[in-house]
Amino acid sequence: MNLEGTKLTGTVLTGAMLKQAKLDRAVLESCDLSRADFSDASLDGTFIGHSVAVGTLFRRANLNVANLAESTFTDANFIDADLTAASLSSQFNGAGFMRARLVFVQAAGAVFVGSVHRDARIPTRTSRAATSRVPTSPARTSSAPSWSRRISPKPSWKRRPSRGRSCAART
């Protein structure tokens, strides 16, 4: 299905089967995308704003340079999705980003509550080019994301000594 450049405002797409659909540069504003299936779809440069997506599937979807603005994604599935250079200024409640490509993502204003980022491809601080466009910490997160622990682990020499071994115990 080719919906390239289509503007959908206030459209209810609840349960829509849009697998492998071509929605490049489309505008989805104030839409209900709940339980829609965008698996393997191309949403390159698509704007999704002021929308609701509960249980929506974006498995293996191409969301390069997509703008997900002021929307709510609850239990959405972004597994293996490509979100390179996407803008994520939305709320993600329980969203799954396992193995997703999150290179050069702009996450200012994004809220991740209970979202899973396991094995997501996020650049580390070792790459100067990658860190120039990736925020060092997402704004307003409920807890430190798992990837922040991988980026800056505590060196072994800064860890506390074990309690069983103290200098005073030697006699």
Over residues 24-46, the pLDDT tens digits come to 999 999 999 999 999 999 999 99
Q: What is the mean pLDDT of residues 83-101?
A: 93
Kind plus residue range of the DSSP H or E element containing 71: strand 67-74
Residue 124 pLDDT greater than 90, yes or no: no
Position 83 scores a pLDDT of 94
Task: Provide the pLDDT confidence category of residue 1 given band limits of 50, 70 and 90.
Answer: confident
Contacts 24+ apart (CB under 8 A), 7-14: none
**113, two tokens:** 């509550």
- Contact between 79 and 99 (Cβ < 8 Å): yes
Cα gap 60→6, rounded to integer Å = 21
Model-wide pTM > 0.75: no
Cβ partners under 8 Å of residue 8, min gap 6: 26, 27, 28, 29, 31
Say how many Å lie between the first and final Cα of the chain, rounded. 80
